[in-house]
Amino acid sequence: MKRRNFLQSSILASLGLSVAACQTNNKAPVNEEAFVDDFQLSEVTVAELQQKMKSGDLTSERIVQLYLKRIVQLDQSGPKTNAVVEVNPDALLIASALDAERKEGKVRGPLHGIPVIIKENIDTADKMITSAGSMALGNHKAQTDAFIVQKLREAGAVLLGKANLSEWANFRSTKSSSGWSSRGGQTRNPYVLDRTPCGSSSGSAVAVSANLAPLAIGTETDGSIVCPSGINGVVGIKPTVGLLSRSGIIPISESQDTAGPMARTVTDAAILLSALTGIDATDEKTKAQPADPAVYLNFDDTVLEGATIGYLSKTSAFDKRVSSIMNEVVEVLKSKGADVIDITVSDEVNQLGQYEWTILLCEFKEGIEKYLASHPECGFQTLSELIDFNKKNESKIMPWFEQEIFELANETKGLDDPKYNEAKKVCVELSRKQGIDKLMNEHKLDAIIAPTNGPAWSIDYVNGDNFGGGSSQLAAVSGYPSITVPAGNIKGLPIGVSFFGKPWTESRLIQIAHLYEKASHKRLKPEFKISLLT
């Protein structure tokens, strides 16, 4: 299935590339010759980019040119990670304007001139599409920026492009393949290309891991920031629900949705998080957020001295290889002064999933129809209309898996469904009162840790995803923060460790995660292997 040309001719010409070089399809990469990764900005940090611009070694415009060229050469050619569905045709103009500001002595902050890729379910009032990966919204251009996009522009970031994702943020089918969308095709894991990038913020995580951009934004309902971050060897922050506005983001759940930063270091993720916060009158949950986002950049190398960390060692489906990596994590934390204790949740808490499912189905129907009503340019008004469109275009939109989740959600009565309010009460009780709050209060914990993910599984369009374990649910359902950091690898496939805490404790978690990262150095640069079998 051919995708649309995603670079306009003017940008391509400036890079010495042709339109034909930007055409791609869903075929797996062919190992014609080994890929040599000699990218000039490989693994560069935000601080290093700022220093290069300050010294005059590079301009923002030149940095953007280098990343655009890499997207063409690596994402759409060579290994074909297929993470970026569309680049911003105005990226170079934006960068040039920011360079002019710098020359005049105006630097807006640490993101001034820094390229950022955002997930393709986030509204941008520019020439780019916002479709959640679906051909149904394949021509939708939002009329206004999402609130967090406004914050990005104010901070002086360059919107480099939009990342592919699991279609409808992985909320269309129970048999989906993470990282696949009808608009964008299949995103691939940069470590081993026939392996999953996890979902739904797959393109955002791969873009950062593969050095297609220094920073990216993903969204999460349950696992969609932390799983792709963990599996693709990067840092991901799933903040407290309400720390970042959700206005202008195609929704799943009012209770659980949030955007969040992805980066190759905790520091860079914290810089991006700080720029995105702000109270938004159109999102009530943001009114509870702390006032000073700069607190996320206050690092303390003594933060673990005397701290107590709870280790959820009996989380789902992880094997002894993951446990071995977590044992190393524990030893690093102890070496920095922490006391690490084993903790468990009750069997009752482990039944959380069935109630979460009810909430997601009901809130999705309500949320998506509210979004469509506020975006008449989409051309749809109801979930039923989206379902009908998918059926009429089944060969293109549903060649591998169906839309069972859409249909189940459509059968509910939305927020008026009699099962909804009861499910919300149970979820608060199990995820907060009997979950994270109880664990942290009883054991006087500074944070909770657990494995983020198992090793990436093979992409499988017949059977769908085959998750090797996850720990995202408690933080997701409670709406509390979690941060994942690279912790090791199994056969070259990254494994992450997640740090959880109470609401609005991002600053504390960031400090702990930063110190762990600094002591462990487990970020592994991808090698773009075709398969573990070759």
Domain ranges of the chain: 9-16+45-520
What is the tens place of the pLDDT at every residue in 46-92?
999 999 999 999 999 999 999 999 999 999 999 999 999 999 999 99
| Residue 114, burial from CB neighbour count under 10 angstroms (0-12, 13-18, 19+) | buried
Confidence of residue 21 (pLDDT cuts 50, 70, 90): very low
Report the 10 Å Cβ neighbour count for 204.
40
- Model pLDDT, residue 316: 63
- Model pLDDT, residue 27: 57
SS3 label, residue 323: helix
CA distance 69 to 157: 19
- Model pLDDT, residue 37: 84
Of 231, 237, 224, residue with least CA distance to 263: 237
Q: Mean pLDDT in the chain?
A: 93
Judged against a pLDDT cut of 70, whether residue 144 lies above it is answered with: yes
Is position 200 annotated as part of the catalytic site? yes
Judged against a pLDDT cut of 60, whether residue 30 lies above it is answered with: no
Average pLDDT of the segment spanning 329-337: 98
What is the tens place of the pLDDT at every residue in 418-447?
999 999 999 999 999 999 999 999 999 999
Predicted TM-score (pTM) above 0.85: yes
Per the residue annotation, which of 131, 182, 224, 245 is the catalytic one?
224
CB neighbour list of residue 293: distance below 8 Å, 6 or more residues apart? 273, 274, 275, 277, 278
What is the tens place of the pLDDT at every residue in 471-525?
999 999 999 999 999 999 999 999 999 999 999 999 999 999 999 999 999 999 9
Of 194, 198, 206, 197, residue with least CA distance to 533: 194
Is the CATH number of domain 9-16+45-520 3.90.1300.10? yes
For 15, the token pair is 């890079």
Is position 482 annotated as part of the catalytic site? no
Judged against a pLDDT cut of 90, whether residue 22 lies above it is answered with: no
Per the residue annotation, which of 200, 274, 482, 507 is the catalytic one?
200
For 60, the token pair is 């923002």
- Model pLDDT, residue 319: 86
- Model pLDDT, residue 19: 31
**Residue-wise DSSP of 398-428:** -SS---HHHHHHHHS-GGG-HHHHHHHHHHH
DSSP designation for 430: I
Per the residue annotation, which of 52, 69, 80, 119 is the catalytic one?
119
Average pLDDT of the segment spanning 190-195: 98
Judged against a pLDDT cut of 60, whether residue 26 lies above it is answered with: no
What is the tens place of the pLDDT at every residue in 355-377?
999 999 999 999 999 999 999 99
